Structure 1
Amino acid sequence: MFRRREAVPFSFVAEHDSFRSNVTPPPRERLTVSQVTGRTLIGLTVVAGLVGSLLFGLPSLEAGQTAGNAQQSEASERR
């Protein structure tokens, strides 16, 4: 009869969680001053763009009552 064989022994799978490697990854390279400055300027540009679009977009999101009232008042004065 066919016997099922596991590809990995069970004991290895159970010990996998507690296994710690003694090989440390290489240290991360430090960013240069120009890289930090560039990333900061890009971040500030993105934030300034979002704030600017919010400031320019808020008047168009209002109900439009001021423009509508001004047109209605001009029409009522003509009659």
Structure 2
Amino acid sequence: MKDFFYAIQDLFVDTLFAPFDALRALELESWAGANVLSWIFLLIGSVAFVYWMLELKKFNDNGEEDKSISSHSYL
């Protein structure tokens, strides 16, 4: 059973976290290089937010939104 847990440790530490070790080494060289992954996620999130807001506006302009004022039955 001990070998099973060591195998899981080896999988995560040596294989799956290897890209993060490379980013940690890059952190010592430049701030921008270390934060490039954060900027990519921020860009993806911003694009998704703008897309979602445009879709909501499209449905609102078409009048497809149910704007009746009533609460759910469980409230």
**Coarse TM-score class (shorter-chain normalised):** 0.3 to 0.5
Structure whose residues are more often helix by fraction: 2
Larger Rg: 1
**How does the TM-score come out when normalised to structure 1?**
0.36
TM-score (norm 2): 0.38
